[in-house]
Structure 1
Amino acid sequence: MTRVDFYLLSQQQPTAQEQFVCRLTEKAFRLGHRIFLHGKDEQQARKLDELLWTFRDRSFIPHGLAADVDAEPDFPVVIGSGEAPRGDYDLLINCADDIPDFFSRFERVVETIPNEDQAKARGRTRYRFYRDRGYPLEMHRL
């Protein structure tokens, strides 16, 4: 059964969520996970794509956008928005406001919750969705 981890971010900067996602992606990549980053829209997906190249000087995370047909079979990290990944990935990092329909095909789902009232309210809704269906949940306050 899919395990779901919620990360409640303490910082209120506009890019705090994306910066955290990059650090988490780097850690998961180094542990050998295949990761699908799910952005709320194409703009956020492209922003995550750019940040993965620049967020840390010595970091290298091979990745690509799901919109690029050649990216999915070759990259351990793929970034999309809306569409299900075509490849085989074990970790979904969800940056969207809603739960993607394809979440249950992953071993683990990470939900990132920015430190702002509306985002927290949407996060509570997602938490209840998973809880009411019996998914194992963990909350991490950063």
Structure 2
Amino acid sequence: MKIEFYVLASAAPAERERVACQLAMKAWRAGLPVFLRANDAAQCQTLDELLWRFRPETFIPHSLFSENPQAPVVIGLNEAPAQSNGVLLNLDSSLSPHLEQFQRVIEIVNQQPELLAASRENFRSYRQRGYDPRRVEL
């Protein structure tokens, strides 16, 4: 499994969500199932709305997990993905309980101090589990 931490220069939560939408579009266009893991129900709704309008000229087929877990891009929380071997875009501060079901995990990190601390802990946790996470500066 490939694990990457995409590190943003900004501290704005909206920037993390925008990058998550860009990455979801890229992975979907590459033919991969996408699970966009939010940190709460409110962020699920925000991501759902953002995917509709962030690129007006492009339709990204997506759905909340509760409405259609088989959608090409699924927005959820801690549910097990309906499709395996996809991409997990993690906006939660904890590790997914379903890591083994993904071929690629992208943690999207910004400069909020509490998120940086949680991300460092996640990086260590991945290493302790035998993975080799990589850092990508955006």
TM-score normalised by the chain length of structure 1:
0.91
Kindly state the Cα deviation for residue 85 of structure 1 after the two structures are TM-superposed.
2.1
Deviating above 6 A after TM superposition, structure 1's stretches of 4 or more consecutive aligned residues are none
Secondary structure of the 1:107 match is strand
Map of 2:56 onto structure 1: 57
Counterpart residue number, 2:132: 136
Give the letter for the 2:59 counterpart: F
Specify the SS of the correspondent of 2:63. strand
CA distance in 1, matches of 2:95, 2:111: 18
Q: 2:36 aligns to what SS in structure 1?
A: strand
Q: CA RMSD in A?
A: 1.2
Is the contact between residue 36 and residue 90 of structure 2 (CA under 8 Å) also seen in structure 1?
Answer: yes
**What residue is the counterpart of 1:72 in the other structure?**
69
TM-score (norm 2): 0.94
Letter in 2 for 1:95: L
Structure 2: state its 5+ residue gaps.
Answer: none
**Aligned mates of 1:15, 1:40 — CA distance in 2:** 13
Q: 3-state DSSP class of the match of 2:39? A: coil
Residue 94 (structure 2) aligned to one of 95, 98, 103? 98
Q: CA deviation at 1:89?
A: 4.8
1:27 and 2:19 aligned: no
